Amino acid sequence: MNRAKRLIKELMKGIIIGVANIIPGVSGGTMAVSMGIYDKLISAITNIFKDFKNSIKTLCPYLAGMLLGIVGLSFVIEWLFGHYPFQTNMLFIGLIVGCLPIIVKKVKGKKFNAGYALAFALFFLLVIGMTWFGNTSGRQVELKTGILDGLILAAVGLIASATMVIPGVSGSMVLTIMGYYMPVVKEINQFILSVTGGNVEGILHGLGILVPFGIGVVLGIFLIAKLIEFIFSKAETVAYYAILGLIIASPIAILMKSDLAGLSVLPVVTGVAALCAGLFVAGKLGE
């Protein structure tokens, strides 16, 4: 029974990471760190060839949850942001803020110095700066199949996944800046509809776009995981202060990308309720 509960909790954490990865301004890496599983996932990824069995055993429930979060909930997220954008944003802010105590524990007892302050400030400003720049970018690309287009999609997937792994940096926001976010989300949703509807032409078209993008995503995750492991082995406390800056900036980044004009009492009240729900869920998942 305890094993089943543990697997369900790991699956839920994976779902949150997956959903976070498809929300511009929200970092899947941030959620992993906040829930106390970031180091565990990075270690499993970097040691997958050395200890394949245990690495796969560790990754499988999280990967299954992430897949459910990205694919299974893409329609739900699209609907929620279409109808309740403020409440949905507040939920994710609650999830992020509610997990901050875990990160604070990582640096507790360490004497604060200028190096830590610099790391915090630089990465705090990185998120704010990326969000500010992203707010001015409305360009959308047209996804096509073909050898050159496939290589470009693989490169885009590599860049996006590398940023997804870095705590505090939103891969979806990077895709938004590049003009690929909504085209990719729509392609995923269209592919799901083609599969469920038996549309062979739609399935083949979707595979021609999503497969090269997916290959780039996998490559990006493995490459950046190695780099992150190296950084943590050499300067762990500095890395956590940088992550703290990224995490604290994330709620600000979400609000910067939100339309707060003309909010009435009801959305504010339900938004606060969503914030509290996020805080509660984060606390439970971080236990």
Give me the helices (H) in the chain, please.
Answer: 2-21, 28-34, 38-46, 52-67, 74-83, 85-97, 100-107, 114-134, 147-165, 171-178, 181-197, 200-234, 236-256, 265-285
pLDDT of residue 118 exceeding 90: yes
Residue-wise pLDDT tens digits, 195-243: 888 888 889 988 888 889 989 988 888 888 888 778 878 888 888 888 7
Residue-wise pLDDT tens digits, 37-51: 888 888 888 888 888
Residue-wise pLDDT tens digits, 123-134: 888 878 877 765
Q: How far apart, in Å, do the first and last CA atoms of the chain sit? A: 18
Q: Is the pTM of this model over 0.75?
A: no
Give the Å distances, CA to CA, from 192 to 11, 75, 198.
Answer: 21, 10, 10
